[in-house]
Amino acid sequence: MRVRILVLFGLALLELTGPGAAVAQSIHSTIQRVQSRMVKVFGAGGIRRLHAYSTGFLVSPTGHVATVWSHVLDTDELTVVLADGRRISAKVLGAEPQLDLAVLQLKADGLELPAWNLASDSGDAGPGTRVLGFSNMFKVATGDEKVSVLHGVVATKAPLATRRGSFETAYEGTAFIVDAVTNNPGAGGGVLTTRGGRLLGMIGKELRNAETNTWVNYAVPISEIRKPIEEIIAGRYRARQREPEGVDEVARFRPLDFGLVLVPDVLFRTPAFVDRVQPGSAAARAGLQPDDLVLFVNGDLIQSCRVLKQRLGRLEAGGVLKLTVRRGDRLVPAELPVPAKSSTPSGEKSR
Amino acid sequence: MTWSQSMARRIGTMLVVLAVGGAVVHGQAPADLETKEEQAFKAAAVNVAPSVVRIQTVGGLDRVGRTLTGTGATTGLVVSADGFVISSAFNFISKPASVLVTLADGRRFPAKIVANDRARMLTLLKIAADGLSTVSPVPRKNFRVGQWAIALGRTYDSPLPNLSVGILSALDRVWGRAVQTDAKISPANYGGPLVDIQGRVIGVLVPLSQRQSGQTAGVEWYDSGIGFAIPMVDILSTLPRLKTGEDLLPGLMGITLKRGDVYAVAAVIDRVRFNSPAEKSGMKPGDVIASIDGREISRLVQVRHALGNKYAGETIKVVVRRGDKKVDQQIQLVGKLEPYAPAYLGILPRRRLVGDKTVGVTVRGILPESPASQAKLLPGDRVVRVDGTAVADVAGLLDIISRHRIGETVKVQVERREARQTLTATLSGIPPTVPAIIESAIIAAPEPKPANLPGTGRISEDLAGHNHNFWAYVPETYNPAHGYGLVVWIHPGGDTMEADIHDLWKPICEERGLILVGPRAKKVSGWNLGEAGFVEALVQEMQKRYRIDGRRIVLHSYSDGARFGYHLAFRYRSLFRGVAVSSEPLRLSPPENRPELRLQFFLSCGDKDNLFGLVQKSRARLETMKYPVTLTPVAGDGHNYPPVPVIDAMGRWIDLLDRI
């Protein structure tokens, strides 16, 4: 079985006739339809290299705009530019910082705008689905110019932050990760759609993946933000409870509480090798041995002594601690009961 | 019918549909065809998915060179049913303590690193599993620029691999090692497969660069539309060697070619390294390479293409033109060349003033107990020929001597009081000691003082275009008719030591004709390797402002500042000629010394300093690579900046850097 799919760039320059034209037409109409519902948002910023613009999309004919929650909105002088070039003042109607979401209200009466119906216009997609991204990245579109369109595929639909700290973002749910470079300055609040024009998600802020030190291109699925948007518009939205600050400082348990003594933590990433096991301790009863390398705690990879201590610190009293250790060339599971209370004084720094 | 067969059939049906579509324009295909293409992307991913594994590492460095190493999951590809997995070497540059492989079915195994392919930047792993699904490679003859290419990784928590779709952009890239794609290649899929639309593997994704080699080369191109994959067929052909645990190294012949526009000039051999395969086979400077393994060579760049895919241990057939003759040679390539031990005559050349067009090299001083002193050369002699070759200037003499080996004899013709005589000298190595007295090289202020002299005295300013600042000391007597040495002070973490360094070095700068420049780290607490570019730019700025003698540009640093200092020295080999380090050992493995890029070291350390033993070992490591090294212990001293007598010795050593 042989296949040759040649992409003939040259042809793209020719007048479109024949079989290609029908689809080109349909994509063209998709793009026109989507662009008419997109807006450009101008607000605070412009200093210290912070951009003063972002993107938004209309979610009601009377002038509600969904956009990304960012410093751009931190001003009384918000201006929204519609697809036809009209400039209208706006105010922030409500926001959900944990979803990086804000809803704006245009300050104009009697509007009848083309808008998304979140209930009937949304869709879903998996890896490999071709998508379009719409945003005013880098403020390329000025005046009544339409926002920029990018194309790509969905790389995956997966949780953005599987572990605390891997991304510097408030949003931790499932996201569409795409292979086009959609997340640029000003692109936040843009949309991701299928090529048929189904609304998939809202493009998020620029985001660096702290685990791989690369920038990530993603959109928050509409299914995650639809309800908050509708509730904000209806005026009955209550922001979610934020987790208390300084949660990383929690240190409820220490390795010693389980009878584990780790090797001295001398490097930035000292592997979590067991130095000693206290006789009669939970660790001893679970069969742990010196030189075991702790690799997983309750399914999460442990890359260093530091991470192990953080993870133990966050355990809930009375639960079960599931460990996987590497012993020689084998992986060995172990289960330890989490005691009711830490035996080491809480003021003491964990070692 | 098994699942994969049914998948293959489904893809087959789809392809018939695609073929009917005929010449289809990407992005403008008929709607149903477009949907089918999309299904084909997904089917291709599903087809290979069972062989795409997730790799996690534990422990290891947090930084390699300028690149912050990730701790996230990376990707690998099963290459044999009995548990061998290939991945990108980039995924292991942090030298992790433990490597874990998670198969597509969720089973998890500890992995062993078996071997590395250092030419194609791949790493082979082994896990204790059997009966794994393997992939089928795309034959090289089926590679077509423009065909779909789907890049897969397994870095997210999702049952299916993450994918990016593009096309094959080019073949035979990076000296024939890789194919190029515009699919988005990044740490999210390094080590994963690049597959065709049938789910067969074109290659394995790696970061690579045309210009640089090294572990992190090419990473800066992530997600840019420029990505590389090592062809699967090549991987399978070297797999048996890798499986034995043998590291594969790029093959070297041991020649350097005459410089020039690599796309225009012929491949003329400039130097043949001592004891290298090229020397053993009888290659000589001046030979012109005519063909390698039957591929005709007419331009320099073709040599790199012909050798790019060769490993150490392989034998190549080289034809060279020597005069009118053609000479055939069989050369077995090696992975490492013997480092070059610089030969030494023992003269200090007189430095020329601007506009001095004297032919030859006038002797400023003869170093004690050197080949030159034994041959009875005298200060004031003008060296005009060596072994019959005319000597134009210092660079010319240095070049001639650097083509000799220690122990060889040269005939030196000198002009002494208008008479010519020929002396015979037996070359030695550069001695590890600094003579107690080197006549100072005080430069008088220009008379009359020219207008538009650049700033002198103590200077402190921002470097334009960089978010950094620096300080400098330029002797008040600065005279642009003379070339000055440049001392680049790399301060230790936590203290720029500016006032002390200024006070201690000011007299030495005046005595030895030196300019001192002190770049300041962004954070005084310590240098970040990313600041290397700033230091390079600063040296270039000083070269623009002042007349700097390129043979005497020195990095000087103390304590932990020297980690950055050593990094700079080996990173910018063509810029720095000397490294003077106090109280800090060398913590990286130095590359071998090369005749065309001279580099000398001056180490000092208190003999009561805990680091003293390590500093002594550093000298040994540098000497193994044949660098000239001077180590000055400071009796009774601990971890301190060296006292004045040692700084004086450092000044004399800098004055000696242009010795021949």
Mean of pLDDT values over A217-221: 94
Question: Chain B residue closest to A166 (CA)?
Answer: B72
What is the predicted pLDDT for the residue at B268? 93
How many domains in chain B?
4
Mean pLDDT of chain A: 82
Q: HSE of B141 in the Cβ direction (CA atoms, 13 Å)?
A: 1
Is residue B337 one of the residues assigned to a domain? no
Stated as kind and residue range, the H or E segment containing B363 is: strand B361-366
Within 10 A of B387 (CB to CB), how many other CB atoms are there? 13
Q: At B14, is the pLDDT very low, low, confident or very high (cuts 50, 70, 90)?
A: very low
Are A233 and A59 in contact by the 8 Å Cβ rule? The answer is yes
Is residue B420 one of the residues assigned to a domain? yes
- Smallest Cβ–Cβ distance between A329 and the set B128, B158, B164 belongs to B128
B660 closest CA partner among B357, B255, B271, B381: B381
pLDDT tens for residues A42-68?
987 665 556 789 999 999 999 999 999
Question: Chain A residue closest to B101 (CA)?
Answer: A331
Is residue B452 one of the residues assigned to a domain? no
What is the predicted pLDDT for the residue at A263? 86
Mapped to the 3 state alphabet, what secondary structure does B386-453 carry? ECCEECCCHHHHHHHHHCCCCCCEEEEEEEECCEEEEEEEECEECCCCCCCCCCCCCCCCCCCCCCCC
- Smallest Cβ–Cβ distance between A3 and the set B15, B62, B70 belongs to B15
The answer on pLDDT for A277 being more than 90 is yes
Question: Chain B residue closest to A179 (CA)?
Answer: B164
| Judgement on whether residues B353 and B327 belong to the same structural domain of the protein | no
What is the set of domains in chain A, with CATH numbers? 122-234 (2.40.10.10), 248-337 (2.30.42.10)
| Judgement on whether residues B398 and B545 belong to the same structural domain of the protein | no
Lowest mean pLDDT segment, chosen from B305-309, B370-374, B482-486: B305-309
| Judgement on whether residues B507 and B593 belong to the same structural domain of the protein | yes
Which chain B residues are within 8 Å of A271, Cβ to Cβ?
Answer: 58-59, 97-98
Mean of pLDDT values over B202-223: 77
The answer on pLDDT for A2 being more than 80 is no
Lowest mean pLDDT segment, chosen from A260-274, B350-364, B450-464, B505-519: A260-274
pLDDT tens for residues B497-518?
999 999 999 999 999 999 999 9
Mean of pLDDT values over A15-24: 45
Which chain B residues are within 8 Å of A126, Cβ to Cβ?
Answer: 42, 160
What is the predicted pLDDT for the residue at B18? 40
| Judgement on whether residues B216 and B359 belong to the same structural domain of the protein | no
Tell me the pairing of strands B419-426 and B428-429.
unpaired
Looking at the complex, report in whole angstroms how far the Cα of residue B494 sits from the nearest Cα belonging to chain A.
Answer: 19
| Judgement on whether residues B480 and B623 belong to the same structural domain of the protein | yes
B197 at the A interface (CB within 8 A)? yes
Are B229 and B202 in contact by the 8 Å Cβ rule? The answer is yes
Are B203 and B229 in contact by the 8 Å Cβ rule? The answer is yes
Is residue B211 one of the residues assigned to a domain? yes
Is residue B442 one of the residues assigned to a domain? no
What span, in angstroms and rounded, lies between the C-alpha atoms of A261 and A277? 6
pLDDT tens for residues A97-109?
888 899 999 999 9
What is the predicted pLDDT for the residue at B640? 94
Is residue B439 one of the residues assigned to a domain? no
Using alpha carbons only, how large is chain A's radius of gyration in Å?
A: 26
Mean of pLDDT values over A151-157: 93
The answer on pLDDT for A18 being more than 90 is no
Query: Tokens 């947090």 label which residue?
Result: B62
Looking at the complex, report in whole angstroms how far the Cα of residue B179 sits from the nearest Cα belonging to chain A.
Answer: 16
List B84's β-bridge partners, or say none: B80, B126
Is residue B592 one of the residues assigned to a domain? yes
Are A296 and A302 in contact by the 8 Å Cβ rule? The answer is yes
Q: At B274, is the pLDDT very low, low, confident or very high (cuts 50, 70, 90)?
A: confident
Are B630 and B604 in contact by the 8 Å Cβ rule? The answer is no
What span, in angstroms and rounded, lies between the C-alpha atoms of B21 and B29? 8
| Judgement on whether residues B42 and B89 belong to the same structural domain of the protein | yes
| B71/A129 CB distance under 8 A | no
What span, in angstroms and rounded, lies between the C-alpha atoms of B78 and A114? 51
What is the CATH number for B466?
3.40.50.1820
B428 closest CA partner among B406, B450, B444: B406
What is the predicted pLDDT for the residue at A343? 62
Per-residue tokens: B293: 């393994």
A104 vs B66 pLDDT, higher one: A104
| B97/A271 CB distance under 8 A | yes
A23 at the B interface (CB within 8 A)? yes
pTM across the whole model: 0.72
What span, in angstroms and rounded, lies between the C-alpha atoms of B607 and B603? 12
What is the predicted pLDDT for the residue at B9? 42
Is residue B438 one of the residues assigned to a domain? no
pLDDT tens for residues B370-388?
999 999 999 999 999 999 8
**Residues whose CB falls within 8 Å of the CB of residue A225, separated by 6 or more in sequence, listed in order:** A66, A96, A99, A101, A202
A91-100, B258-267, B586-595, B643-652 — which one is most confidently predicted on average? B643-652
Using alpha carbons only, how large is chain B's radius of gyration in Å?
A: 30
Within 10 A of A290 (CB to CB), how many other CB atoms are there? 11
B272 at the A interface (CB within 8 A)? no
| Judgement on whether residues B391 and B293 belong to the same structural domain of the protein | no
The answer on pLDDT for B93 being more than 90 is no
Mind giving me the DSSP string for B574-637?
TT--EEEEES----SPPPPPBTTB--EEEEEEETTSTTHHHHHHHHHHHHHTT--EEEEEETT-
In 3-state terms, what secondary structure has residue A20?
Answer: helix
**Residues whose CB falls within 8 Å of the CB of residue B545, separated by 6 or more in sequence, listed in order:** B454, B455
Q: Which of B189, B219, B243 is the last residue of a domain?
A: B243
Q: At B8, is the pLDDT very low, low, confident or very high (cuts 50, 70, 90)?
A: very low
By the 10 Å C-beta count (0-12 exposed, 13-18 middle, 19+ buried), B338 is classed as middle
The answer on pLDDT for A249 being more than 60 is no
Amino acid in position B47: N
What is the predicted pLDDT for the residue at B17? 38
Tell me the pairing of strands B548-558 and B98-102.
unpaired
What is the predicted pLDDT for the residue at B413? 95
Are B440 and B447 in contact by the 8 Å Cβ rule? The answer is no
Residue B318 φ then ψ, to 5°: -120, 135
Q: Output the CA–CA distances (angstroms, integers) from residue B61 to A292, B100, B565, in the order listed.
A: 21, 17, 20
| Judgement on whether residues B462 and B542 belong to the same structural domain of the protein | yes
**Residues whose CB falls within 8 Å of the CB of residue A175, separated by 6 or more in sequence, listed in order:** A157, A158, A159, A160, A201, A204, A218, A219, A220, A221
| Judgement on whether residues B361 and B275 belong to the same structural domain of the protein | no
| Judgement on whether residues B31 and B158 belong to the same structural domain of the protein | yes
Tell me the pairing of strands B122-126 and A101-106.
unpaired
Helix axes B498-512, B644-655, angle to 10 degrees: 40
Mean of pLDDT values over A328-349: 74
- Percent of chain B with pLDDT strictly greater than 70: 92
What span, in angstroms and rounded, lies between the C-alpha atoms of B114 and B267? 37
Strand ranges (E), B275-324: 288-292, 295-296, 315-322
What is the predicted pLDDT for the residue at A336? 92
- Tell me which of B164, B169, B181 to substitute to probe the interface with A (most A C-beta atoms closer than 10 Å): B164
- Smallest Cβ–Cβ distance between B29 and the set A23, A179, A331 belongs to A23
What is the predicted pLDDT for the residue at A9? 33
Are B580 and B556 in contact by the 8 Å Cβ rule? The answer is yes
- Smallest Cβ–Cβ distance between B45 and the set A128, A130, A301 belongs to A128
Looking at the complex, report in whole angstroms how far the Cα of residue B216 sits from the nearest Cα belonging to chain A.
Answer: 13
Mean pLDDT of chain B: 88
- Percent of chain B with pLDDT strictly greater than 90: 67
pLDDT tens for residues A110-145?
999 999 999 999 999 989 999 999 999 888 888 889
Query: What sign does the CA torsion over B162, B166, B172, B175 have?
Result: negative
What span, in angstroms and rounded, lies between the C-alpha atoms of B248 and B236? 14
Mean of pLDDT values over A174-185: 91
Phi and psi based region of residue B236 (left: phi greater than 0; alpha: psi -120 to 50; beta: remaining): alpha
The answer on pLDDT for B486 being more than 80 is yes
What is the predicted pLDDT for the residue at B390? 94
| Judgement on whether residues B321 and B349 belong to the same structural domain of the protein | no
Question: Chain A residue closest to B188 (CA)?
Answer: A212
- Judged by CB atoms within 8 Å, which residues 283-312 of A form the interface with B? 293, 295, 301-304
Within 10 A of B39 (CB to CB), how many other CB atoms are there? 16
Per-residue tokens: B174: 């990076």
| B18/A5 CB distance under 8 A | yes
Looking at the complex, report in whole angstroms how far the Cα of residue A295 sits from the nearest Cα belonging to chain B.
Answer: 8
What is the predicted pLDDT for the residue at B524? 85
pLDDT tens for residues B232-242?
999 999 999 99
The answer on pLDDT for B27 being more than 70 is no
- Smallest Cβ–Cβ distance between B30 and the set A6, A20, A179 belongs to A20
A21 vs A300 pLDDT, higher one: A300
Looking at the complex, report in whole angstroms how far the Cα of residue A302 sits from the nearest Cα belonging to chain B.
Answer: 7
- Smallest Cβ–Cβ distance between A7 and the set B12, B58, B167 belongs to B167
Which chain B residues are within 8 Å of A195, Cβ to Cβ?
Answer: 34
Looking at the complex, report in whole angstroms how far the Cα of residue A6 sits from the nearest Cα belonging to chain B.
Answer: 5
The answer on pLDDT for B420 being more than 90 is yes
What is the predicted pLDDT for the residue at B332? 95
A202 vs A348 pLDDT, higher one: A202
- Judged by CB atoms within 8 Å, which residues 66-125 of A form the interface with B? none
What is the CATH number for B269?
2.30.42.10
Tell me the pairing of strands B548-558 and B578-582.
parallel
Question: Chain B residue closest to A2 (CA)?
Answer: B142
The answer on pLDDT for B571 being more than 90 is no
| A23/B34 CB distance under 8 A | yes
The answer on pLDDT for A6 being more than 50 is no
pLDDT tens for residues B161-211?
999 999 999 998 888 899 999 999 988 899 999 999 999 999 999 998 766
| A177/B156 CB distance under 8 A | yes
What is the extent of the structural domain holding B639? Answer: 457-655
Q: Output the CA–CA distances (angstroms, integers) from residue B476 to A228, B459, B518, B652, in the order listed.
A: 71, 11, 17, 21
| Judgement on whether residues B115 and B161 belong to the same structural domain of the protein | yes
A15 at the B interface (CB within 8 A)? no
What is the predicted pLDDT for the residue at A25? 61
